[in-house]
Chains A and B, each alone.
Chain A
Amino acid sequence: MSAPLLELEHVAVAFGAARPLVDVNLEVGPGELVAIVGETGSGKSLSCRVALGMTERLGGRVVSGRVRFRGDDVTALGERGWRRLRGREIGFVPQASIASLYPLGRVGGQLKAAARMLDPESDPEERALELLRQVHLPDPTRVMEAYPHELSGGMRQRVMIALALVGRPAVLIADEATTALDVTVQGAILELLRELRASTGMSIVFVTHDLGVVQELCSRVYVMYGGEMMEVGRVADVMSAPSHPYTRALVSADVRHAEVGVPLPVIQGMPPDPAHRPPGCPFAPRCAHALTECSTREVVLGAGVRTVVGQETACWRAREGEVLL
């Protein structure tokens, strides 16, 4: 793989006494489609915000690790420095498009304002129309005149994507961008993202809790749990041969693997409280395969734990090459 564009290296984030991120690793190469999956509260969204330099704005602090962009360490970059990256280098598509568009402004005005700032060479009006066409919104002139609440959820999400594209970013981070949409609209948005990646060559980080979407869209996947990366690998490997007990549980809890009449397996217990983290592996208290070692010794990704297939895993048992299940 060529030099990565965006990297998080062993990033830990603290909010007061709470440690929502403990050890986050992420590598996004040029043109890559990477997924981050995990359940609610695992730190997916926060990892995105860290990659956009928003930690302090949200009241937190990066306590260790590094954020790199194009190889430069941007962890301690000031607000001004980050502002040059946001929108221009790293685009962001939020989850709730209705809440994320300014409710009192017309779509066209918001796009044009963004174009004036992020793409001053262009004619704002034309750039806005071009972007709306690029995200396949029908009747762009009418959409320009509309207020956000007058559009449907799918249309709003397309507008959000158009806004994120104004500055022609090299990396697009989509934080649960399709979660609030119904399945057909979701499919259309995924298709759009795939197409945009092909036409612009940008990388996409796709955050979701939907494993099906990951399989459809992405090439590599990061599995997150309790503020740590549990497993990384090519989507096909991770889905067909999950090596971490958490990934395994996640995959088997997916509806598509259900058989009629057989209840879906449920992961017992609760995710760890970021203010009172247990020692060792965060998943150990819920893990069916835990050893005593698991709840005493920290295991992180990149400690050289690799499985036969090739994905990296933060699990002592995977290291031993044991066949689980």
Chain B
Amino acid sequence: MESVVDQPLPRWRRARTFGHTGRVIGAGLLVGVVLLCVFVPLLWPYGPNEIVAPAYQAPSWSHPFGTDTTGRDVFVRTFAGGRLDLAVAAFAIAVSCALGTAIGTAVALSRRRWVDTLTMRLIDGLIAFPFVVLILALIVVVGPGLELGPLPAGVPALLVSLLLVGWAIYARLGRAEAQSLRQRDYVLAAELLGYSRARVAVRHVLPEVWRITAAYAVADVILVVVVMAGLAFLGAGVQPPTADWGQMMYEGRTVLATSWWITVLPGVVLVLTGLGVTLVADSLLGARERGK
């Protein structure tokens, strides 16, 4: 008789093995892109806004990604833009996630029902609007040309609108999770021991809620990066001459047939980042679903 050991692994087992590989590949891609974004702008001989060579030069040893419409080095611009885009997205998501998680948990545990109802209707309203349209409207209100301290034009408006909209989805996720946790025996037991509700919320409920919202946030980073790139085409993203993936692709679109590198190479880096983020996020969310 065939022993159990010889039989092929059941399906779920294979899926898990792949999940692990996916996590490694994803993490590798992500770490690679982030390292390049950090070090290329620091170490590369040219600055991102420096005109260093004739325009429309094809990729070569001195300019691996070629030069753009005004003769700037596409390689350094790609990673300087990536640094800005990823930093803005990561910051916006981190703050939205922290804020949304706290609001969702507080609302779920609140004893006043109207607090819950009011907040949830507000969140429903925010989520019902198409994300990009809402962001676009807010950017126009704040002013896309606004500069603020070290933040280049376009970034302050982008941050403000991302934060105003972004917390809603985390609050909804967090609330759902906190509501189910609220009826857990250990939460009731903690309250029966005389702990205050605030303490129970922070020590017993929040750590679990946080695990869910944080995993979702990782997946959300790429969504924000793509939205930022899309906004450049609508004139509402990061404003030129600051390097940004969307802005670069937008500038190169008219010469796509002849100087493809201006548009395609930043796009490839964007896709690789997206792949990395998605693989990591999938394995994080998958680990949760398997009850890890």
Residue positions of A touching B, CB distance < 8 A: 52, 54, 56-57, 79, 83-88, 92, 94, 96, 99-104, 113-114, 117-118, 160, 163-164, 166-167
Give the chain A neighbours of B190 by CB distance below 8 A.
Answer: 102
Given A79-B197, A102-B204, A104-B207, decide whether A52 and B192 contact each other with a Cβ distance below 8 A.
Answer: yes
A101–B188 Cα gap in the complex (Å)? Answer: 10
Q: Which one of B194, B196, B197 contacts A118 once the chains associate, using CB atoms below 8 Å?
A: B194
Contact across chains for A86 and B193 when beta carbons are under 8 A apart: yes
B124 at the interface (CB under 8 A from A): no
Q: Which residue of B lies closest to A83 (CB)?
A: B194
CB of B115, distance to nearest CB on chain A (Å): 16
Of the candidates B194, B203, B207, which one forms a contact with A84 in the assembled complex, judged by CB atoms under 8 Å apart? B194
Pairwise interchain contact A92-B186, C-beta atoms closer than 8 A? no
* Chain B residues closer than 8 Å to A54, beta-carbon distance: 188, 191-192
A86 and B192 contacting across the interface, CB-CB below 8 Å: yes
A76 to B188, CA, bound (A): 20
Question: Which B residues, 198 to 237, have Cβ-Cβ distances below 8 Å to chain A?
Answer: 203-204, 207-208
A86 interface neighbour in B111, B194, B203, Cβ under 8 Å: B194
Known contacts A94-B189, A100-B189; A83 and B184 CB within 8 A of each other: no
Q: Given contacts A86-B191, A101-B186, could you give 13 more A-B pairs where the C-beta distance is less than 8 Å?
A: A54-B191, A54-B192, A79-B197, A83-B194, A85-B194, A87-B194, A100-B185, A100-B186, A102-B186, A104-B207, A104-B208, A160-B189, A163-B193
30 A–B pairs (Cβ distance < 8 Å), ordered by A:
A54-B188, A54-B191, A54-B192, A57-B191, A83-B194, A83-B195, A84-B194, A86-B191, A86-B192, A87-B192, A87-B194, A87-B195, A88-B194, A92-B189, A92-B192, A94-B188, A94-B189, A99-B184, A99-B185, A100-B185, A100-B186, A100-B188, A102-B186, A102-B190, A102-B203, A113-B203, A118-B193, A160-B189, A163-B193, A167-B194
**Complex: how many Å from CA A114 to CA B193?**
8
Which 7 A-B residue pairs are closest in the complex by CB-CB distance?
A: A87-B194, A99-B185, A86-B194, A100-B189, A92-B192, A100-B185, A87-B193
Task: Decide: A103 and B193 in contact? CB cutoff 8 A.
Answer: no
A54 to B189, CA, bound (A): 11
Beta-carbon contacts of B163-188 to A below 8 Å, as 1s and 0s? 00000000000000000000011101
Q: Report the minimal beta-carbon distance from B289 to chain A, rounded to whole angstroms.
A: 18
Give the complex CA separation of A100 and B189 in angstroms.
6
Q: Which of B195, B196, B208 has the most CB of A within 10 A?
A: B195
* Cα of A52 to Cα of B195 in the assembled complex, Å: 13
For A84, the chain B residues whose CB sits under 8 A away are 194
Residues of A within 8 A of B185 (CB): 94, 96, 99-100
Which residue of B186, B207, B208 has the most chain A CB atoms within 10 A of its CB atom? Answer: B186
Chain B 91-115 interface mask (CB, 8 Å, partner A; 1/0): 0000000000000000000010000
CB distance from A69 to the nearest CB of B (A): 14
Please name all residues of chain A whose beta carbon is closer than 8 Å to the beta carbon of B194 when the two chains form the complex: 83-88, 117-118, 167
